[in-house]
Chains A and B, each alone.
Chain A
Amino acid sequence: MSLPALYYLVLLALSALASAAIAAFCWTRRSSLGTKPFIVLMVAVSFWSFCDLMRLLSSDYSTMVFWDKMSYLGIVLVGPSWLAFCLQYTKRDGQLNRRNLALLSIVPLVTLVLVFFNEQFGLIWTDLTVVDLGQFRDLAHGHGPWFWVNVAYSYLLILTGTILLFQYALRSSSLYRNQAKVLALGAAIPLISNALYVAGVSPFYPLDMTTLAFSLTGLVAAWGMFHFKLLDIVPVAYDSVVSSMADGVVITDAKNRVADINPAALKMSGLPSQEIIGRPADLLPMFKSDLLQRSSSAIESESELEYPGPNGQRFYDLRISVLYDPQGDLLGRLWVFRDITDRRRAQDELFRAHQELERRVAERTSQLAEANLSLKEQMAELKQSKKEREKLIAELEIKNSEMERFTYTVSHDLRSPLITIKGFLGFLRQDLAKGSNLRTEADMKRIEEAVDRMDLLLRDTLALSRIGRVVDPPQYVNFGEIVKEALDQVSLQIRSSKVRIIQAESYPVVFVDRLRLAEALANLIENSIKYMGHQASPEIEIGWRKLADGTAFFVRDNGMGLDPSQHQKVFELFYKVDKKSEGTGAGLAIVKRIVEVHGGRIWIESEAGKGCSVCFTLPRSDLSAPKSA
């Protein structure tokens, strides 16, 4: 049962050093939640071990008692610091408020007071005696009542913490379960060891192995924590990330290792759960791209990800939350992959439907625009045709009133010889009754002349009515040829009246009813001869000049001229300036009609005694001519 004293001393020294080392190591990672109470625990264990070592190395009683008392500075801290560690680790650190800390401190403080004033109260130790253990000496303790209070209190705290760890391990995901189990098992070691020592049944009795056991716990806990690489990753908000979530959740640490992954994300990756935890995140297929690099600087981000998973191409809405500890140091990232494939497809479908709709709207719009255009054209045509119709109606009205005037004129002029005939027939009857042969002869002559005149009137009326009704096809002809034909027709009158004919050097080509125009021209020449008066050197000029609306031709004479009051009247049917002149007075009416049928107009330029010009236009042949002609 005796242990080589040196071994024990070395173990104590190692325990002190190991605990201090763990504390120091944890100090470098103090940002992780739960690390600080653990550091306190390790420092306490280290100090406890150190005091034990010093006590054993002391030679005199009072020094031994001193170190024995000093060791309580570490002992009283073990229970509370363990509980604090467990509370923080299991995320119950909300309970570590000042009030609770003060309450927790009551027993340790009382214990310390009683330890350092044990000589007065004797509540910790009833007697302290030096026992020789062979190679060294130690103190044997007779325990007072408060000693047990402190033991029970420490046990209570340690047990409570350990139970919390176990509970936490049971309801944690597999990831944290192992770590919690290791921690809980670690906690059991000193409990068992101390229980054996306190009960006096320790195999190493009277040597107290509790400090060694706590060091061992520290080592185990540190191994557990850092082996699983979890002390620097706090499972913040893990409870809220339900493993049954439909969204894929991946937690990576600051070094981009997979700290946790939920079933949905595993399904996405097609890997078994355990393989990937603790390993670099880029082993996951969805991190294969430059996703990690891209999001390394992102603080909080949301983006869309297209990922060819085991179930075909799928779309994800990726939200990255960056996790920090209260000190503001980066802990890791929370990656939430929400499958939006259906939504995306619906969106695509909607987009296509929208495009189709837009296409149809555009198509229909263009159809409507076309229809509108054609409607506008139709309306314009309708307007045009209405305008033309109105013009036609106006023309018809003019023609109608002309026709009416013509009818009255004709009936008036035809009635005239009839009145003569019937009147003189009455006289003839009287003559015959009286037997006046001389008067009979004269009156019969009057009747004959009236009949002849009527015949002429009827002929001219018929001639006029034929113009425009019986049409010879128009042709291209030099106006000079028409002049020649007209002059041939009136050659007899020209010779007898000794009129000098002046012609233009050249004439334009016209597109006309050649015979009719020659007839009209002959009529005008005849008229000029008729109204030449007593001109010593009669002249008739047949010329032309250009006008805006065509070419004006004229027949000019140096005869008696015409008073402007007569300029319109001369074109009326059967109007005669000189009643005694030959003919019916239909000549100019016929000429006017011929010119109008050709689309031209006719007018007189004259003053009494200064000769007369009858002018008429003919449309320009280059405008009316068909291109092929």
Chain B
Amino acid sequence: MSPKIPTVLLIEDDRDHADLIMRCFEDLRTAQIRWMEDGEKALDYLLHRGEFAEEETPDLILLDLRIPKYDGHDILQKIKDCEELLTVPRVILTTSDNPMDVRKAYQNHANSYLVKPLGLEEFRDMITELGNYWFKYNVSCR
């Protein structure tokens, strides 16, 4: 029995960036991606609301900070209030290297903060490392 492929919830408003990330994951086959364009939808998904009632809790949350409706910080805050979701690693993947954003993210219990790299190779390397770390070396409680 082959092991279950982990699910990554990608919260990203930029379609191009989402495509970049998803194509990297596709190539690597380390995880299957669920992409949400805005914070509202992502929270519905995480809290199994509405159309996402049947969805499973993801194994990793990969989220951008500047997204419409609820931004990355808001989502981190909501997750913090939900005990079940606290077991899901949250990784920030954003263009901002603003120290205020970094600090705020960790204060809201982000597990990692990554800045989107420039270049496909760099992107692919980063996704590879990400997959390795969280799904190969890191022990999840799930």
Contact residues of A with B, CB < 8 Å? Answer: 405, 408, 412-413, 415-416, 418-420, 422-427, 429-430, 446, 449-450, 563, 565-566, 569, 575-579
Contact = CB atoms under 8 A, between A and B. Distances in A.
A418 B16 contact: no
B6 to A, nearest CB: 23
Contact of B119 (A405, A426, A565): A426
Contact of B66 (A418, A419, A575): A575
6 contacts: A408-B100, A419-B16, A424-B16, A424-B20, A425-B120, A427-B23
Given A424-B20, A446-B16, 11 more contacts: A408-B97, A408-B100, A412-B66, A412-B95, A423-B119, A426-B119, A427-B120, A450-B16, A577-B68, A579-B14, A579-B68
B33 to A, nearest CB: 16
Nearest to B99: A408
B125 to A, nearest CB: 12
A422 B120 CA distance: 7
Given A412-B66, A422-B120, A579 B37 contact: yes
B105 to A, nearest CB: 14
B118 A419 contact: yes
A577 B38 CA distance: 10
B69 interface: yes
Interface in B80-121: 94-98, 100-101, 116-121
Contacts of A415: 95, 116, 118
A333 B120 CA distance: 137
A419 B93 CA distance: 12
Given A426-B119, A579-B68, A420 B13 contact: no
A565 B23 CA distance: 33
A587 to B, nearest CB: 15
A585 to B, nearest CB: 9
A419 B95 CA distance: 9
Given A412-B98, A578-B68, A422 B16 contact: no
A412 B20 contact: no
B108 to A, nearest CB: 16
A429 B97 CA distance: 28
Contacts of A423: 16-17, 20, 119-120, 123
A412 B96 contact: yes
Nearest to B13: A579
Contacts of B100: 405, 408
Contacts of A427: 23, 120
Contact of B20 (A405, A413, A420, A566): A420
B115 to A, nearest CB: 9
B95 A416 contact: yes
Contacts of B17: 416, 419-420, 423
Nearest to A419: B116
Nearest to A425: B120
B94 to A, nearest CB: 8
Nearest to B64: A416
B95 A426 contact: no
10 shortest A-B CB distances, which residue pairs?
A: A426-B120, A420-B16, A408-B98, A423-B20, A412-B96, A415-B95, A412-B95, A579-B13, A422-B118, A422-B119
A426 to B, nearest CB: 2
A609 to B, nearest CB: 14
Contacts of A578: 68
A489 to B, nearest CB: 27
B118 A418 contact: yes
B58 to A, nearest CB: 22
B70 to A, nearest CB: 8
A450 to B, nearest CB: 6
A420 B68 contact: no
A225 B101 CA distance: 134
Contacts of B71: 569
A566 B101 CA distance: 18
A425 B117 CA distance: 14
A415 B116 CA distance: 9
Nearest to B14: A416
A423 B68 CA distance: 23
A446 B18 CA distance: 12
A327 B118 CA distance: 139
Contacts of A408: 96-98, 100-101
A565 B43 CA distance: 15
Interface string B68-80: 1111001000000
Nearest to A424: B16
A146 B139 CA distance: 173
A440 to B, nearest CB: 15
Contacts of A575: 66
Contacts of B123: 419, 423, 426
A566 B68 CA distance: 9
A412 B66 CA distance: 10
Contacts of A563: 69
Contacts of A577: 68-69
Given A426-B121, A427-B23, A579-B37, A420 B14 contact: yes
Nearest to B115: A415
Nearest to B15: A579
Interface string B109-142: 0000000111111010000000000000000000
A408 B19 CA distance: 24
A564 to B, nearest CB: 13
Contacts of A430: 120
A563 B96 CA distance: 25
A427 B119 CA distance: 10
Nearest to A415: B95
B16 A576 contact: no
Contacts of A418: 118
Report which residue of A412, A419, A446 has the largest number of chain B beta carbons within 10 angstroms of its beta carbon. Answer: A419
B68 A576 contact: yes
Contacts of A449: 16
Nearest to A453: B16
A446 B117 CA distance: 18
Contacts of A450: 16
A184 to B, nearest CB: 135
A413 B14 CA distance: 11
Nearest to B39: A565
Contacts of B117: 419
A172 B12 CA distance: 142
Contacts of A446: 16, 19
B20 A419 contact: yes
Contacts of B23: 427
Nearest to B124: A426
A450 B95 CA distance: 15
